[in-house]
């Protein structure tokens, strides 16, 4: 496409309703390796359909924090255990439970293990593959991992959920919207080593053959990432939000994904704080990409700072201590500025080894006109570090099927702008490389074909 067209935003990107809490950096992709998305998530990114986004945590009224739960360390609370046991009793029925206890009495060791609560055995207890074959349960309950393809059955569940939970009407609910949002993910779906599913999947819950709930999951090399969860209004009283979280944590544990990602944690939003009840959670620090426990200390920091970073807080404390010891004046606290927002093409080219991320382009870096690199947006790799790992001149760009893939230096206008000029090609690519990180920048081609 022509260079002049780069600044034209795509409305479906800039108008995403879930991203209106503050500025975000956007990119689009219809072909993405799960390993690459794992890298992006560990830099603070998430996806909505084919749109990838990194919120500007420092310039948001309610910062979004990436959190993850080590599955092996997860200890369900009493309330969470009770919700799971209550559902299991409903599925199995009192008659089944009594008969099973009579026919298959538990040993002392089994009773002790039962009292200690085992997440894996408990979540699978009411499933058809686990129940005693000679004792019929009250209900037939199955949970299956299925491709994230569209079906009328899934859409009917989505329709019911959106109407009863989000109070949407006919004008808000469509098959096209459901497909765009929760089906046909850009992630490549396949099995790693023949047994570990990767890509985007639907975790389907069926009671007596009827689909009653569904999780949309991204399965990555080291993570089960929850994208969305929906349930039928008929089962609302059974706390399916808790049941799904427990099952997804169990999936991460038994399939060896290691971590369970529940999406963003927002301390200032009551509806999002529940994620902190699944412990122990760790919060991504976007300065250095380290993980800190979500404990009382970090929560207090979230309450007292516009954006909480443990590494930055330690630097601030060290600076204050240096000042009190006669050291130099600590840096003053930066003032908040408007964030940046970029949009991207959503077309998917062919012939790039199945992998492409669309080139994100600047709409308005900020009211100051500064590049994101100058603003210091959390989650970006500073230019000096980026230069040590990435040669921007040799980054790959896709220019359409007729032109193919080239290096950035082959573009005529490549050398006409600077890396901190967000309106230039070089400036836009520098922002992109800084946002996605060195590894993605070197391995993934940008798309200029639209």
Q: How does pLDDT run across 25-79, given as a tens digit for each residue? A: 989 998 999 999 999 999 999 999 999 999 999 888 889 999 999 999 999 999 9
The CATH number, out of the four listed (3.30.70, 3.40.630, 1.10.357, 3.30.9), of the domain defined by the range 70-185+194-253? 3.40.630
Q: In the predicted model, is pLDDT for residue 2 greater than 80?
A: no
The total of other beta-carbon atoms located within 10 Å of residue 387's CB is 15
C-alpha to C-alpha distance for 228 and 233, rounded to whole angstroms: 16
pLDDT at 30: 85
pLDDT at 192: 79
Residues 213, 142: contact at Cβ < 8 Å?
no
* Phi, psi dihedrals of residue 342, rounded to the nearest 5°: -130, 155
Q: Which residue has the higher pLDDT, 358 or 137?
A: 137
Residues 53, 435: contact at Cβ < 8 Å?
no
Q: Which residue has the higher pLDDT, 296 or 343?
A: 296
Helix residue spans in 305-424 (DSSP H): 310-324, 372-375, 383-389
Q: Which of 15-29, 147-161, 231-245 has the lowest mean pLDDT?
A: 15-29
Q: Strand, coil or helix: what is 362? A: strand
Rounded average pLDDT over 378-395? 96
Q: Which residues contact 330 (CB under 8 A, 6 or more apart)?
A: 316, 319, 320, 322, 323
Quick one: tokens of 341? 């927002």
| Highest mean pLDDT, choosing among 197-206, 350-359, 427-436 | 197-206
Q: Which residues contact 153 (CB under 8 A, 6 or more apart)?
A: 211
Q: Answer left, alpha or beta for residue 38, where phi above 0 means left and psi between -120 and 50 means alpha.
A: alpha
C-alpha to C-alpha distance for 99 and 349, rounded to whole angstroms: 60
C-alpha to C-alpha distance for 398 and 351, rounded to whole angstroms: 10
Cα-based distances in Å from 125 to 121, 130, 131, 208, 280 = 6, 6, 7, 16, 25
| pLDDT confidence band for 261 (50 / 70 / 90) | very high
pLDDT at 368: 57
pLDDT at 340: 32
| pLDDT confidence band for 348 (50 / 70 / 90) | very low
Nearest to 223 by CA among 192, 180, 178: 192
**Residue 357 pairs with which residues in a beta bridge?**
446
Q: Which residues contact 220 (CB under 8 A, 6 or more apart)?
A: 34, 35, 37, 38, 41, 198, 257
Question: Angle formed by the axes of helices 175-182 and 152-164, to 10°?
Answer: 100
Q: Strand, coil or helix: what is 285? A: strand
Q: Strand, coil or helix: what is 110? A: helix
Cα-based distances in Å from 108 to 105, 111, 125, 441 = 10, 5, 19, 57
* All CATH 3.40.630 domain ranges in the chain, comma separated: 70-185+194-253
Residues 11, 366: contact at Cβ < 8 Å?
no
Q: What is the mean pLDDT of the chain?
A: 85
C-alpha to C-alpha distance for 288 and 293, rounded to whole angstroms: 15
pTM of this prediction?
0.86
């Amino acid at each position: 496409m022509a260079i002049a067209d780069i600044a034209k935003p795509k409305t479906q990107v800039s108008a995403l309703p879930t991203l209106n809490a503050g500025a975000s950096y956007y990119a689009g992709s219809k072909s993405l390796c799960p390993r690459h998305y794992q890298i992006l998530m560990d830099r603070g990114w998430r996806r909505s359909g084919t749109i990838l986004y990194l919120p500007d945590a420092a310039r948001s009224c309610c910062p979004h924090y990436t959190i993850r739960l080590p599955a092996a360390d997860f200890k369900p609370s009493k309330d969470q255990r009770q919700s799971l046991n209550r559902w299991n009793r409903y599925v199995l029925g009192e008659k089944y439970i009594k008969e099973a206890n009579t026919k298959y009495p538990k040993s002392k060791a089994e009773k002790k293990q039962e009292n200690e609560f085992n997440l894996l055995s408990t979540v699978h207890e009411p499933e058809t593959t686990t129940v005693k074959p000679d004792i019929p349960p009250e209900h037939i309950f199955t949970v299956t991992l299925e491709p994230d393809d569209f079906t009328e059955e899934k859409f009917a569940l989505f329709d019911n959920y959106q109407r009863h939970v989000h109070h949407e009407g006919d004008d808000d609910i469509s098959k096209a919207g459901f497909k765009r949002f929760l089906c046909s993910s850009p992630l490549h779906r396949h099995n790693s080593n023949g047994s570990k599913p990767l890509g985007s999947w639907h975790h389907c819950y069926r009671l007596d053959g009827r689909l009653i709930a569904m999780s949309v999951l991204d399965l990555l090399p080291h993570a089960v990432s929850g994208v969305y969860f929906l349930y039928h209004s008929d089962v609302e009283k059974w706390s399916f939000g808790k049941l799904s979280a427990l099952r997804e944590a169990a999936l991460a544990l038994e399939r060896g994904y290691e971590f369970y990602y529940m999406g963003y944690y927002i301390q200032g939003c009551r509806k999002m704080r529940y994620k902190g009840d699944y412990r122990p959670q760790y919060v991504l620090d976007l300065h250095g990409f380290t993980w800190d426990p979500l404990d009382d200390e970090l929560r207090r920091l979230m309450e007292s700072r516009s954006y909480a970073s443990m590494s930055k807080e330690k630097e601030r404390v060290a600076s204050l201590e240096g000042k009190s010891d006669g050291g130099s004046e600590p840096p003053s606290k930066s003032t908040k500025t408007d964030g940046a927002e970029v949009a991207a093409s959503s077309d998917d080219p062919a012939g790039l080894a199945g992998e492409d991320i669309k080139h994100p382009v600047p709409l308005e870096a900020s009211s100051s006109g500064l590049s994101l690199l100058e603003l210091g947006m959390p989650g970006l790799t500073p230019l000096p570090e980026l230069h040590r790992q990435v040669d921007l001149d040799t980054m790959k760009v896709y220019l359409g099927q007729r032109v193919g893939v080239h290096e950035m230096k082959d573009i005529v206008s490549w050398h006409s702008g600077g890396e901190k000029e967000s309106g230039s090609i070089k400036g836009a690519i520098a922002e992109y490389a800084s946002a996605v990180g060195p590894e993605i920048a070197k391995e993934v081609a940008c798309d200029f074909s639209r």
